[in-house]
Amino acid sequence: MRAVALVLLSVSLGVRAYAQTGGIDGQIIDRDGKPLAGVTVLIVRIGFNQRFEAKSDSDGRYRHIGLPTGRYELTILRDGKTAKLDTRIRFGEPSTVNFDLRQLMPYDREHIHRVTTAALAVPRKAQEEYQKAYKARDNLEKVQQHLEKAIQIAPDFEDALNDLGTIYHRKHQYAEAAALFERALKINPDLLTARVNLAGTLTALKDYERALAENLRVLAQRPDDALAHGQAGLALYYLSRYEEAIPHFQQAKQFDPNSGLLPGFFLAVIYDLTGRNSAAITEYEEFLKAHPTLQPRGEIEARLRVLKSRNSRP
């Protein structure tokens, strides 16, 4: 048992490696049906401190390759407004995300009201601060300042609340982050990005029961969400509910084989802890193959030798 605990600690503190990648491409069309050139697409890996950018060419097309597999949020800024879309990147499969502003930012005010009701309630000055935060995205402190100003002007600005929550999470100020995500969800209970972020923050706070409940709410609406499955598995793992954790880690591994939450590793540990040596050996070996640069790997290899020696005994 002690050996398994040492392996768990070493890998949890280790550097996450992403061996499998994919790409995103798409086209940006303005409200008149014409391609938009020179638009920056912000590409954020949901649940991770990873941000990428791409810029549209003269045909309005953009492309970014070499992205770790997983779920992403894509954002563009146009005419003082933001448009956001979600996608999932799978290994070896291109993901196409088109921004058609005829649908996302239509001229018809009635249609606008139907599509983005919350956005219409945000005052112009708050939107301007949000835009400044977007433009200052490489300077975390400035982003925080602009988001705080936006929320001061518009306390119910759900996107700003969620984005500020992610900043506090990155700073390890988890209680503050959770409060911001909860405010966003009180305004819009269907804001799944904020809910999965809240679940991750509750895990960091070791509030595993609540983290589990929030992840299950996400999965009720988005059953293929690898991050929510992985986080649900973690919550159950830390609650010592190993059998319930297994299917969530299996789903997380299936939907995102190279997830930064390391579902394959936790599956191996659970099988190891519960005496299923053959299954543990298989998962450990698959994990090492999928994460060839993850350090330290010596502890896992040592644990594999112990398990294999046990299996070879008559």
The answer to the question of residue 78 being in a domain is yes
Beta partners for residue 27, in sequence order: 61
pLDDT of 265 > 60? The answer is yes
Query: Rounded CA gap, 173 and 204, in Å?
Result: 10
Query: Rounded CA gap, 14 and 103, in Å?
Result: 44
Residue of higher predicted confidence among 14 and 173: 173
Beta partners for residue 89, in sequence order: 70
Q: Left if phi > 0, otherwise alpha if psi is -120 to 50, otherwise beta: which for 60?
A: left
What pLDDT was estimated at residue 222? Answer: 86
- Residue whose tokens read 């301007």: 128
The answer to the question of residue 291 being in a domain is no
pLDDT tier, 16 (very low <50, low <70, confident <90, very high otherwise):
very low
The answer to the question of residue 46 being in a domain is yes
The answer to the question of residue 230 being in a domain is no
Domain count, the chain: 1
Domain extent at residue 47: 28-115
The answer to the question of residue 35 being in a domain is yes
pLDDT tier, 13 (very low <50, low <70, confident <90, very high otherwise):
very low
What pLDDT was estimated at residue 4? Answer: 55
Tokens found for residue 264: 């394959």
What pLDDT was estimated at residue 5? Answer: 47
The answer to the question of residue 91 being in a domain is yes
Q: Which helix (H) or strand (E) holds 280?
A: helix 277-290
pLDDT averaged over every residue in the chain: 83
pLDDT digits (tens, 9 = 90+) for 105-133: 765 444 333 334 455 567 888 888 988 88
What pLDDT was estimated at residue 266? Answer: 94
Peptide bond into 296 cis (omega under 30): yes
Residue of higher predicted confidence among 104 and 59: 59
The answer to the question of residue 303 being in a domain is no
User: If you average pLDDT over residues 145-164, what whole number do you get?
Assistant: 92
Amino acid in position 259:
S
Q: Left if phi > 0, otherwise alpha if psi is -120 to 50, otherwise beta: which for 77?
A: beta
The answer to the question of residue 109 being in a domain is yes
pLDDT digits (tens, 9 = 90+) for 183-221: 999 998 988 888 989 999 999 999 999 999 999 999 998
CATH number of the domain where residue 39 is located: 2.60.40.1120
pLDDT digits (tens, 9 = 90+) for 23-46: 899 999 887 778 999 899 999 888
Q: What is the CA radius of gyration of the chain?
A: 21
